[in-house]
Amino acid sequence: MTGPVLAVAGLRAYYRTSAFGVRREVRAVDDVSLSVEPNEIYGLAGESSSGKTTLIKTIANAFQPPLQVLAGSVVFDFAGKRFDIHSLAARELAAIRWKHLSYIMQGSMNVLNPVRRVRQSFIDFAFRHIGGPLPEFLDLARKHLQRLHLEPQILDAYPHQLSGGMRQRVTIALATVCQPQFIIADEPTTALDVVVQKGVLAMIHEVQRALGSSILFVTHDMAVHANLSDRLGIMYAGRLVEEGRTADLFRNPRHPYTAHLIASLPQLGDSAPKQGLAGAPPNLADPPEGCRFHPRCPRASDICRREVPFLQGASGHRVACFHATAESVA
Amino acid sequence: MGRTLLDLLRYNRQFAAGAVLLLVVIGFACLSFFSPYAPNDAYVTAPDLPPDWTYPMGTTSRGQDLFWLLSFAIRNTLLFGLAVALFSRLLALLIGLVAGYSGGLVDRALMSLNDTFIVIPLFPILVLFYFVMRDRMSWGLLALMMACLGWAYDARLIRSVAMSLRHREFTETAIFSGMSTRQILVEEHLPYVLPIVFSTTMNNINWSIGLEVTLSVLGFTDINTPTIGVLIYWANQHTALVSGIWWWIFFPVLLVVMTFIGLFLLAVSMNEYIDPRSRLGRRAP
Amino acid sequence: MSAPLLEVDAVSRVYSRGSLLSRRSFAAVDGVSFRLESSRAEIFTVVGESGSGKTTLARMILGMVLPSAGAIRFKGRDLSTIHGRRARLEFMQKVQPVFQNPFEAFNPMKRVDRYLFATARRMTGLTDASAIAGATDGALGSVGLSLAEVRGRFPHELSGGQLQRVAIARALLCNPALLVADEPVSMIDASLRASIVNLLRDLRDRLAVSIIYITHDLATAYFISDRLLIMRRGQAVETGEARAVLDRPQHPYSQLLKASVLPPDVPSEPGARLKSEPMIRHGASHA
């Protein structure tokens, strides 16, 4: 019985800047602990300045000063071997990257080299992991594309000859060609049109089921989470405030922020007015004491202003709130 | 802006070094107001005396105290450089902003003019200017001439910034708020353009001083007013180096090199000031 | 019978690229027509994906771009006849924009109240400082803010939602008849979106301001619109009463759009709505 593919424990990552004698500390990720099981899609939801982008940068060990990891650990488990990603040397990191851990970025043009043909990107990213003679590798790439319902001729095209949706599919094919155990997807469909988005999400879903990989899928779009993620984590102001199976969260959101998020989702066919949430996400350089949501929370009380609620709960549905709704009886 | 400059002075060593160098040079130039001699006096001291306590920089073959003479020279050179820079900045700003904001035919026409001025060979034109003007040559005229030749590169730079600003949404907001074109250019766009103007001013001063020294050394300017270049010209005329009067060349060159390095350091360290986001970061609550 | 508030009459906008020898042209907007009546305020939504021409259409209605063919008439006056500063100011006093990104809509180096005061001073002719402050406070009040909160602030000191409200307040200061809102909530956080959307409806009901609402989000369009126009590659594909069009779309593209929207609830079988559709193979055709 294997453990989680990714185990994040007590992660704390701040941006520390010192310019012209002014020190600033932006507490982007504060005491976050989560784990991702094999063969599941873990969705990470949150709005701007929730810290989710910083969290994945830290998990992937793809960050530079002024971002610093102050505490906590990020441990991957690939086929029995454990890797603490922050203690790996550059060479070991390069050996893991793409073979066991790969990424799907928001902009496909951030990945595909615009002045080389698509197959060159495949060679750049994956050849050293798969090895063997080059023609065999390209053959493998072609078969991989075909399995994902893409035409093998795409390898010979330049990125600008493909449409935006097509490029994003190629990025997904690129990220999965080495059959990694873990994929980090950062808002892969946000910039795409609604029609194209559905196709790309379908592709991600199919690839995940076929390979059995785990995906950490980050997006602010709750409708995408509802339809794609198996489990869901909600981030607010640098902290994880609720986590559980997607169905549980949508049916019975226990944290007031989650409850508001889900209630305010506009739905086609529903003309009832939605409520807005007063206030704004806090400035992470100077966050409120205690629970960071209390200035906007309808259930806030004295203890919320003084103490930080911790993530707790049974049966996989955890919530960090002193006034969390009771768990629904199964 | 004052606060930013103070911040730069305290935390940016390049800026501080450049500022110190420049202050020394400017201070020395100000000493010219206390000179016991008039600038063109000759044979007022014993000639060819090496530096010692009475004459800190020695004397020239024409019997002038180099210390006081140099203070005049560097003052005139600095004023000249400043005048050229000022004139050419005004021209560059005017043409760059108008071309960038207007676009279309106005932009095309102005840029054709601009490109013509870029490719004109400066040196032959200035030499020709000297030969045409001869005795009527004056420093003011030369400064004007150089300013008219020196705006082209920077006008293009300013134009490209103005063009990108034209298409930003806050320009549209300003238009729909009823602001006039003049108001938009001066109040909305200028703050983005000014830091670049500062930086290019330093370069421009360096350029104009360099050109002035070149022309003067070759004798193509009014050699009766002391400037650094004219000083070196006279030193050459009296074959100073061959005669072993090294101080006549050394001190002017030292001073002008200090000026160049000081201005260069300032220009380079202003980069932090140029990026508007760095200024915003300082205003954070 | 008064002239309609806005009449878009077979409007096209063509852009051509290339040199003297080879010119290629493409139509960003191709033969679009609709009208808004003066008698009652309404929210007219233009729905389209990227490349549909909706933003170009918005810019033409605002007078920022001239149509290549057809005409746009505001209260009977053809926009292409508006010349000179005075006529342009008169027009802008009645038609105002709200842009997509509030942080781009304001100069990050200037305080936001500056634009409010400028609009009050130049568009409504107020000169007295206290009158200007009063008008500004009133406009901010109608969007749920106050001058005290906003005075002296820079854009980065406000949240996206607040800044967008300030932008709407600025647009309202001169009592316009028409607001053209280009994706006003797409860059705002989900938790702040609903209040802006509700605000726009409130403006229509309380202040009788007509709004042209441009979006790609069908769900919000369903909630807010009176009438709807769906655009695709510059052409109008379907138009009519908003709820009618979205409940029972007739055109195949409208049906495709509706079918692609993911409902925000969890299906019984995970990923049930995401089954791969073989028709989406040749990505090149989905420009």
Could you report the per-residue pLDDT of B174-200, keeping only the tens digit for each?
999 999 988 998 888 888 888 788 888
d(CA A89, CA A71): 19
Per-residue DSSP letters for B168-222?
SHHHHHHHHTT--HHHIIIIIIHHHHHHHHHHHHHHHHHHHHHHHHHHHHTT-S-
Contacts of B284 in chain A (CB under 8 A): 24, 285
B280 part of contact set with chain C, CB < 8 Å? yes
Residue A28 has pLDDT above 50, yes or no: yes
A155 vs A152: CA distance, rounded Å: 6
Distance of alpha carbon C161 from alpha carbon C257, whole angstroms: 28
- DSSP summary character for residue C263: P
Task: Calculate how close chain A gets to C277, using CA atoms only, in Å.
Answer: 7
Dist CA C187 CA A191 (whole Å): 12
Query: Domain B75-282 is in which class?
Result: mainly alpha
**Interface probe, candidates B177, B181, B185, chain C, greatest C C-beta count within 10 A:** B177
| Residue range C195-209: mean pLDDT, rounded | 91
Interface check for A162 against chain C (CB to CB < 8 A): the answer is yes
Rounded Cα gap, residues B65 and B30, in angstroms: 16
- Any chain C CB within 8 A of the CB of A152? no
Contact by Cβ (8 Å): C213, C45 = yes
- Taking CB atoms and an 8 Å limit, are A151 and C281 in contact across chains? yes
Minimal-distance CA residue of chain C relative to A162: C284
Q: Residue C286: its pLDDT value, please? A: 36
Site from C61, C66, C107, C182 to mutate, B interface, most B CB atoms within 10 angstroms: C107
| Separation of alpha carbons C96 and C105, rounded Å | 13
Contact B166, B96 (CB under 8 A): no
Which residues of chain C lie closer than 8 angstroms to B177, CB-CB?
115, 118-119, 122-123, 170
CATH code at position C144: 3.40.50.300
The amino acid that residue C192 corresponds to is L
Contact flag A222-C219 (C-beta cutoff 8 Å)? no
Retrieve residue C131's tokens.
């009158």
- Nearby residues of C21 by Cβ (< 8 Å), 6 or more positions away: none
Between positions 165 and 224 of A, the ones with CB within 8 A of C are 165-166, 169, 193-199, 201-203, 205-206, 209, 220, 222-224
Give the residue from B166, B168, B169 with the most C CB atoms within 10 Å of its CB, the best one to mutate. B169
Chain B (91-130) residues lying within 8 Å, Cβ to Cβ, of chain C? none
CB atoms within 10 A of CB C194: 24
Pick the residue of C262, C269, C273, C282 with the most A CBs within 10 A to test the interface with A by mutation.
C262
Which residue of A195, A203, A255 to mutate against C (max C Cβ within 10 Å)?
A195
Q: Which residues of C touch B168 (CB under 8 A)?
A: 104
For residue B93 the two structure tokens come to: 């700003």
- For the cut 60, the answer to whether the pLDDT of residue C250 exceeds it is yes
**Average confidence (pLDDT) over A162-169:** 88
Question: B284 Cβ partners below 8 Å, 6+ apart?
Answer: A24, A285, C156
Taking the CA atoms of chain C, what radius of gyration do you get in angstroms? 20
Query: Of all residues in chain C, what percent carry a pLDDT higher than 90?
Result: 57
Q: Indicate the residue of C104, C122, C157 with minimum beta-carbon distance to B169.
A: C104
From C40's Cα to the closest Cα of chain B, the distance in A is 25
Q: B167 to chain C: which residues are within 8 Å by CB?
A: none
CB contact under 8 A, C109 and B285: no
Residues of B in contact with A283 (CB under 8 A): 285
Q: What is the CA radius of gyration of chain B?
A: 22
Residue C239 — pLDDT band, cuts 50, 70, 90?
very high
Q: Give me the pLDDT at residue C17, please.
A: 79
Chain C neighbours (≥3 Cβ pairs under 8 A) are A, B
Among the listed ranges A208-217, B220-229, B265-274, C68-77, which one has the minimum average pLDDT value? B265-274
Contacts of A102 (CB under 8 A, 6+ apart): A175, A176, A178, A180, A182, A183, A184
d(CA B238, CA B240): 5
pLDDT-above-70 percentage for chain B: 93
Q: Which one of A109-113, A134-138, C16-20 scores highest in mean pLDDT? A: A134-138
Q: Which residues in chain B are closer than 8 Å to A20, comparing Cβ atoms? A: 7, 10-11, 282
Average pLDDT, chain C: 88
CA–CA gap between residue C145 and residue C139 (Å, rounded): 9
Residue B49 carries which DSSP code? P
Return all residues near B37 (Cβ < 8 A) that are at least 6 apart. Answer: B44, B64, B65, B68, B69
Q: Among B93, B83, B101, which Cα is nearest to B158's?
A: B93
* Average pLDDT of the segment spanning A277-287: 83
Domain count, chain C: 1
Q: Which of A267, A297, A328 to mutate to test the interface with C (most CBs of C within 10 A)?
A: A267
C-beta atoms of B282 and A20 within 8 A: yes
CB C254 within 8 A of CB C230: yes
CA-based nearest residue to B236, from B252, B222, B225: B252
Q: How confident is the model at residue C281 (pLDDT cuts 50, 70, 90)?
A: very low
Q: Do C154 and B283 touch (CB under 8 A)?
A: yes
Whether residues A19 and B278 touch (CB distance < 8 A) is answered with yes
Task: Evaluate if residue B117 carries a pLDDT over 80.
Answer: yes
Position C8 scores a pLDDT of: 93
For helices B228-237 and B190-217, what crossing angle results, to 10°? 10
Residues 6+ apart with CB under 8 A from C243: A271, C222
Give the closest-approach CA distance of B281 to chain A in angstroms: 9
Residue from A17, A18, A20 to probe the interface with B (highest B Cβ count within 10 Å): A20
Which residue of C261, C270, C284 is in closest CB contact with A268?
C261
Beta bridge pairs of residue C15: C26
Contacts of A24 in chain B (CB under 8 A): 284
Q: What is the pLDDT of residue A81?
A: 87
Top mean pLDDT of A203-207, C267-271, C279-283 is at: A203-207
pTM of the model: 0.83
pLDDT of residue A328 exceeding 70, the answer is no
Residues shown for chain A: 330
Predicted confidence (pLDDT) per residue in A54-78, tens digit = 999 899 888 888 898 999 999 999 8
Interface confidence: ipTM more than 0.90: no
- pLDDT of residue C106 exceeding 60: yes
Residue C13, strand partner residues: C29
Q: Which residues in chain C are closer than 8 Å to A47, comparing Cβ atoms?
A: 189-191
Name the residue among B217, B79, B90 with its Cα closest to residue B147. Answer: B90
Answer whether residue A99 shows pLDDT above 70: yes
SS3 C10: strand
- Sign of torsion over alpha carbons B132, B138, B140, B146: positive
The answer to whether the CB of B264 falls within 8 A of the CB of B205 is no
What is the amino acid identity at position C92?
M
Q: Which of residues 191-210 of A touch B (CB under 8 A)?
A: none
In Å, what is the CA distance from C71 to each residue of B219, C33, C227? 68, 9, 21
Contacts of C221 (CB under 8 A, 6+ apart): C45, C47, C213, C215, C228, C242, C246
Residue C277 covered by a domain: no
Q: Taking residues B65-87, report their average pLDDT.
A: 90
Nearest CA in chain C to A271: C223
Report yes or no: B283 at the C interface, CB cutoff 8 Å. Answer: yes
CA distance C30 to chain B (A): 24
CA distance B186 to chain C (A): 13
- For the cut 60, the answer to whether the pLDDT of residue C285 exceeds it is no
d(CA C106, CA C166): 10
| Interface touch C274/A202, C-beta < 8 Å | yes
**pLDDT at residue A48, rounded to an integer:** 80
Instruction: Say whether pLDDT at B275 is over 80.
Output: no
Q: In the prediction, which pLDDT does A329 show?
A: 57
The residue with tokens 């869901």 is A232
Q: In chain B, which residue ranges form alpha helices assigned H by DSSP?
A: 2-11, 13-30, 66-102, 104-119, 122-133, 139-149, 152-166, 169-176, 181-183, 190-217, 228-237, 240-243, 247-269, 271-274, 276-282
Pairwise CA distance, residues A56 & C94, whole Å: 47
Would you call the peptide bond into B50 cis, given omega within 30 degrees of 0 as the criterion?
no
In one letter, which amino acid is B278? S
Distance CA A20, CA C175 (A): 45
> Three-state DSSP class for B150?
coil
CA distances from B280 to B42, B277, C155 (A): 56, 5, 10
* Chain B residues interacting with chain A (CB cutoff of 8 angstroms): 7, 10-11, 278, 281-282, 284-285
Mean pLDDT in residue range C53-61: 93
How far CA B17 is from CA of A111, B25, B160, B258, in Å, comes to 43, 13, 31, 11
- Asked if residue C183 is part of any domain, the answer here is yes
Q: Which domain holds residue C92?
A: 6-18+25-260
Contacts of A196 in chain C (CB under 8 A): 283, 286
Cross-chain CB nearest to B169 (options C96, C105, C157): C105
Task: Label residue A87 exposed, middle or buried (CB < 10 Å: 0-12, 13-18, 19+).
Answer: exposed
Does residue C60 form part of some domain? yes
- The chains found to touch A (3+ Cβ pairs under 8 angstroms) are B, C
- Would you call C191 and A199 a contact, using CB atoms and an 8 Å cutoff? no
Work out the pLDDT band at B244, boundaries 50, 70, 90. Answer: confident
Give the three-class secondary structure for C39. coil
Could you say which DSSP state residue B50 is in? P
Least trusted range by pLDDT, from A224-228, B10-14, B150-154, C251-255 = B10-14
Closest partner residue to B11 (CB to CB) among A20, A24, A286 is A20
For range B220-238, the mean pLDDT: 87
Question: Where in chain B are the domains?
Answer: 75-282
- Alpha-carbon separation of residue A255 from A312, A322, C145 (angstroms): 12, 9, 28
Asked if A275 is an interface residue toward chain C (Cβ–Cβ < 8 A), one would say yes
Per-residue pLDDT tens digits for C123-180: 888 888 899 999 999 999 988 888 988 998 999 888 888 899 999 999 999 999 999 9
Instruction: Tell me if C123 sits within 8 A of C92, measured CB to CB.
Output: yes
3-state secondary structure chain A: CCCCCEEEEEEEEEEEEEECCEEEEEEEEEEEEEEECCCCEEEEECCCCCCHHHHHHHHCCCCCCCEEEEEEEEEEEECCEEEEHHHCCHHHHHHHECCCEEEECCCHHHCCCCCCCHHHHHHHHHHHHHCCCHHHHHHHHHHHHHHCCCCHHHHHCCHHHCCHHHHHHHHHHHHHCCCCCEEEEECCCCCCCHHHHHHHHHHHHHHHHHHCCEEEEECCCHHHHHHHCCEEEEEECCEEEEEEEHHHHHHCCCCHHHHHHHHCCCCCCCCCCCCCCCCCCCCCCCCCCCCCCHHHCCCCCHHHHHCCCCCECCCCCEECCCCCCCCCCC
Share above pLDDT 90 across residues of chain A, in percent, rounded to a whole number: 45
d(CA A176, CA A108): 15
The mean of the pLDDT values for chain A is 88
Mean pLDDT for A178-203 is 90
- pLDDT, mean of residues B51-74: 86
